[in-house]
Structure 1
Amino acid sequence: MKILFLLVALLTSAFSYGNQEVARVLDDFHRAAARADMQTYLGLMTKDAVFLGTDAGERWDKQAFSEFVEPYFSQGKGWLYRPQERHITQSGKNMAFFDELLSNESYGVCRGSGVLVKTAAGWKIAQYNLSIPLPNAIAKQVVKQIKALPQAKG
């Protein structure tokens, strides 16, 4: 029984430490964006990372996302998303899923979600999905407005 308890404690501790590492990467990602630090920001992503923005047409591979952020960051213009709540779930030793509520001065409450993978260089973001949670009470009204836009997808 003591051995079983010890094994459970060790596994829990390992996952907890992994979650701390993942949280640190996400915090560093947000800090780098706020500082317009392109090298650190993109360096926290895998080579084949995908960033999904709030617009239906915003699906960027890392190269396209780099081209999107460069004009802003090169002028020292970043963006600040402050984590308010975060949930991390590890799947094995080398993959973690997360979702986080963020606050942003322009967009209010946002949600980030995605996947990190553990590489030889540490945890890296493989996918980041930024969305704006929509209250159910106004969902139909907002969907109607989106459909009325000429460039709307779907």
Structure 2
Amino acid sequence: MNDAGRRSRRSLARLTGFAFVLASALPVAPLAGQDDAMDEVSATLDALHEAASEADFDRYFSLYAGEAVFLGTDATERWTREEFMDYTRARFDTGTGWTYHMLERHIAIAPGGGTAWFDERLENANLGETRGSGVLVMEDGGWKIAQYNLTIPIPNEMAREVAQRIRALTGGG
């Protein structure tokens, strides 16, 4: 190979390397289908809140995965799906559910697309602003809630006082 050929190959190699570096610095577009998955997760959460508001037991629990866990606002409230079904059935059988209106929601989809997690700010007539967070999994061709955690956010300025009141109520140290 002559000098001109070697220079041409080196130039091509440099150009290819430069193009690779430039391309790797560009913002990455969302994974194909990720926007659709996020919309489906959001629709599942909307359906959950709607079914709860309507006290629709069957629809509500059709949105939970088989091994789901619900974490309530009380420290003792860690329910398996079956335990939560028992608690909820008694309430929903009276025709009364619970209504939460979504104020803000953030959703992320794991690489591979089979798991999602979320956090959402909610408004409830009795509790005021609450927060829901949790995990959804793809199960039987649809998104199912594997864990839901309902909390009541406490302003930092009130945290110590609230913690002291909880300790006094529960007899904690």
TM-score normalised by the chain length of structure 2: 0.81
Q: How far does residue 121 in structure 1 lie from its aligned partner after superposition?
A: 3.3
- For 1:129 and 1:103, how far apart are their aligned partners in 2? 15
Q: How far does residue 102 in structure 1 lie from its aligned partner after superposition?
A: 0.1
Answer yes or no: is 1:23 the counterpart of 2:42. Answer: yes
**2:154 maps to which of 134, 137, 146:** 134
Stretches of structure 2 that go unaligned for 5 or more consecutive residues are 1-18
Q: How far does residue 119 in structure 1 lie from its aligned partner after superposition?
A: 1.4
Larger radius of gyration: 2
Partner of 2:14: none
**2:85 maps to which of 62, 66, 70:** 66
Q: How far does residue 87 in structure 1 lie from its aligned partner after superposition?
A: 0.1
Match of 2:126, SS?
coil
Q: Counterparts of 1:113-128 in structure 2 under 5 Å?
A: 113-128=133-148
- For 2:168 and 2:30, how far apart are their aligned partners in 1? 55
Answer yes or no: is 1:143 the counterpart of 2:130. Answer: no
Q: How far does residue 120 in structure 1 lie from its aligned partner after superposition?
A: 2.1
Stretches of structure 1 that go unaligned for 5 or more consecutive residues are none
Partner of 2:107: 88
TM-score normalised by the chain length of structure 1: 0.90
Partner of 2:57: 38
Q: Which amino acid aligns with 1:120?
A: D
Aligned residues: 147
Answer yes or no: is 1:56 the counterpart of 2:55. Answer: no
Partner of 2:94: 75
Q: Quick check: 1:56–1:153 contact (8 Å CA) kept in 2?
A: no
- For 1:51 and 1:73, how far apart are their aligned partners in 2? 16
Q: How far does residue 153 in structure 1 lie from its aligned partner after superposition?
A: 6.3
Q: Which amino acid aligns with 2:166?
A: I
1:90-143 per-position Cα deviation (integer Å, ceiling 9, x unaligned) = 002100000000000000000000000011230000000000000000100000
- For 1:10 and 1:27, how far apart are their aligned partners in 2? 23
Moved over 3 A (4+): none
Q: Quick check: 1:94–1:117 contact (8 Å CA) kept in 2?
A: yes
Q: Which amino acid aligns with 1:15?
A: Q
Q: Which amino acid aligns with 1:69?
A: T
Match of 2:36, SS?
helix
* Identical positions, percent: 46
Q: How far does residue 9 in structure 1 lie from its aligned partner after superposition?
A: 4.9
Q: Counterparts of 1:8-19 in structure 2 under 5 Å?
A: 9=29, 11=31, 13-19=32-38
- For 1:107 and 1:113, how far apart are their aligned partners in 2? 16
Partner of 1:47: 66
